């Protein structure tokens, strides 16, 4: 294991941040990039990273890391230093309110121009050519803040990987994945190994999250250049939501790390011995089919359904109770699907998101992610 420290801060500042990455195996073969807790205080992700580090060190010592793995165990040292009134606050950069998992560059337009006359009929050669340009483009990024230096540093390590796993957690939730639509099939062994309750797919969620910075350019370029210049979806990038903020245990972390090692085995990056991928798993559903259940008014929140439950349209997910009058609003599912996130707070104000349900029929468009 090679450990690398990446400085994030410019000279003359008062605070100096640095990022740590661990590298296993050797370059030249298939590459996986795994990062934990881009929103900083996402402990389930950081604990899985510790379990992964132990397993990867053991595999490497046994000569069983056949590809390359980069592991970033705590992807947001800036956010880890942010606390408001004794509560960790790592989702947004407090200096400007920007979400640490939004606003990554989409290099498609620049690549369309750069790749004119450089692609052929060999898909593998096209992948190598595109990755060479991608490394150059990320290298040319000139960050002007510690937070954008962080984003560039993470993307530099991930942009040419075959697998990118961006591990997060929800406020409350059951394990689920976000992937590009063309990646559903290749992501299914990961979903089945992890026991995901939902795989949410789209060709573009809006907001430019990290996983799409690594994956979306491939299908956008394929659509632009057409079948004479084959371009596969060469990066299986997934946002992996490891349940809720307090879903923290050594047992869960060990389970999730084993599942990820199993997937690295399936993809030929490690030799983990006898890995059995469960045949049964959830069917992927379009992100455009996800219902957001938002609070129509303030009140006490009483859930009647658990995360992971299958629900039907018309069923009550939660009651919203006025704390003075006792007047109660029943918040109902509008689609059939799986309840995959809830809120950890039990007193909420108007407009807060109460739950999300993965439905199979698309009905939403525009920006599909939370802020």
Stretch of 8-16, 32-40, 55-63, 284-292 lying at the interface with Zn ion (CB under 5 A): 32-40
Give the whole-angstrom CA distance, residue 9 versus residue 15: 8
The nearer residue to Zn ion, 59 or 343, going by C-beta atoms, is: 343
Closest separation between CB of residue 271 and Zn ion, Å?
A: 31
Buried b / exposed e across 5-30, counting CB within 10 Å, b at 16+?
Answer: ebebbeeeeeeebebebbbbbeeeeb
Closest separation between CB of residue 345 and Zn ion, Å?
A: 17
Interface pick for Zn ion out of 6, 168, 201, 216 (rule CB under 5 A): 168
The nearer residue to Zn ion, 75 or 130, going by C-beta atoms, is: 75
Interior angle at CA 294, CA 292 and CA 298, nearest 5: 165
Residue 59 backbone phi and psi in degrees, to 5: -65, -40
Give the whole-angstrom CA distance, residue 200 versus residue 312: 18
- Using CB atoms, what's the residue nearest to Zn ion? 168
Closest separation between CB of residue 255 and Zn ion, Å?
A: 20
Closest separation between CB of residue 329 and Zn ion, Å?
A: 29
CA torsion sign, 11 to 83 to 20 to 32?
Answer: negative
The nearer residue to Zn ion, 39 or 342, going by C-beta atoms, is: 39
The 3-state DSSP class for residue 84 equals strand
Stretch of 39-47, 81-89, 187-195, 356-364 lying at the interface with Zn ion (CB under 5 A): 39-47
Alpha-carbon dihedral 329, 334, 338, 343, rounded to 10 degrees: -40
Closest separation between CB of residue 200 and Zn ion, Å?
A: 14
The nearer residue to Zn ion, 223 or 371, going by C-beta atoms, is: 371
Task: Determine if residue 333 is left, alpha or beta; phi over 0 gives left, psi from -120 to 50 gives alpha, anything else beta.
Answer: beta
The nearer residue to Zn ion, 75 or 159, going by C-beta atoms, is: 75
Stretch of 168-176, 183-191, 221-229, 320-328 lying at the interface with Zn ion (CB under 5 A): 168-176
Stretch of 31-39, 76-84, 129-137, 179-187 lying at the interface with Zn ion (CB under 5 A): 31-39
Closest separation between CB of residue 101 and Zn ion, Å?
A: 6
Q: List, as one string, the DSSP characters of 207-273.
A: S--HHHHHHHHHHHHHHHH-TTS------EEEEEEEEETT---HHHHHHHHHHHHHHHHHTTSB--S
- Binding flag, residue 39, Zn ion (CB under 5 A): yes
- Binding flag, residue 151, Zn ion (CB under 5 A): no
Closest separation between CB of residue 352 and Zn ion, Å?
A: 17
Closest alpha carbon to 299 in 276, 331, 271, 260: 331
- Binding flag, residue 176, Zn ion (CB under 5 A): no
Give the number of residues in contact with Zn ion, rule: CB under 5 A.
Answer: 2
Bridge-based pairing state of the strands 83-84 and 87-88: antiparallel
Which chain residues interact with Zn ion by CB under 5 A?
39, 168
């Amino acid at each position: 294991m090679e450990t690398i420290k990446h400085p994030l801060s410019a000279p003359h500042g008062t605070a100096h941040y640095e990022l740590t990455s661990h590298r296993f195996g050797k370059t030249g073969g298939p590459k996986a990039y795994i990062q934990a807790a881009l929103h900083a205080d996402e402990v389930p992700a950081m604990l899985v990273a510790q379990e992964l580090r132990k397993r990867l060190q053991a595999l490497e010592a046994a000569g069983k890391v056949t590809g390359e793995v980069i592991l970033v165990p705590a992807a947001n040292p800036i956010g880890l230093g942010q606390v408001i009134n004794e509560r960790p606050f790592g989702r947004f950069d407090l200096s400007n309110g920007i979400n640490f998992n939004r606003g990554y560059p989409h290099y498609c337009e620049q690549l369309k121009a750069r790749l004119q006359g450089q692609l052929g009929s060999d898909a593998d050669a096209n992948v190598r050519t595109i990755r060479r340009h991608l490394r150059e483009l990320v290298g040319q990024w000139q960050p002007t803040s510690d937070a954008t230096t962080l984003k560039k540093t993470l993307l530099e390590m991930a942009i040419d990987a075959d697998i990118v796993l961006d591990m997060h957690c929800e406020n409350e939730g059951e394990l689920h994945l976000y992937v590009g639509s063309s990646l559903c099939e290749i992501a299914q062994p990961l979903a089945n190994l992890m026991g995901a309750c939902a795989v949410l797919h789209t060709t573009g969620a809006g907001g430019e999250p990290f996983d799409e910075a690594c994956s979306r350019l491939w299908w956008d370029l394929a659509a632009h250049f057409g079948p004479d210049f084959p371009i596969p979806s060469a990066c299986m990038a997934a946002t992996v939501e490891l349940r809720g903020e307090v879903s923290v245990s050594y047992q869960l972390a060990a389970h999730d790390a084993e599942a990820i090692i199993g997937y690295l085995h399936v993809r030929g990056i490690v030799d983990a011995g006898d890995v059995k991928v469960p045949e049964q798993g959830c069917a992927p559903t379009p992100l455009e089919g996800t219902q957001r259940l938002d609070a129509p008014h303030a009140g006490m929140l009483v859930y009647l359904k658990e995360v992971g439950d299958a629900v039907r349209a018309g069923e009550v997910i939660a009651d919203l109770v006025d704390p003075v009058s006792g007047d109660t609003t029943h918040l109902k599912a509008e689609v059939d699907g799986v309840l995959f996130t809830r809120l950890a707070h039990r007193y909420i104000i108007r407009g807060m998101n109460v739950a999300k349900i993965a439905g199979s029929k698309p009905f939403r468009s525009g920006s599909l992610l939370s802020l």
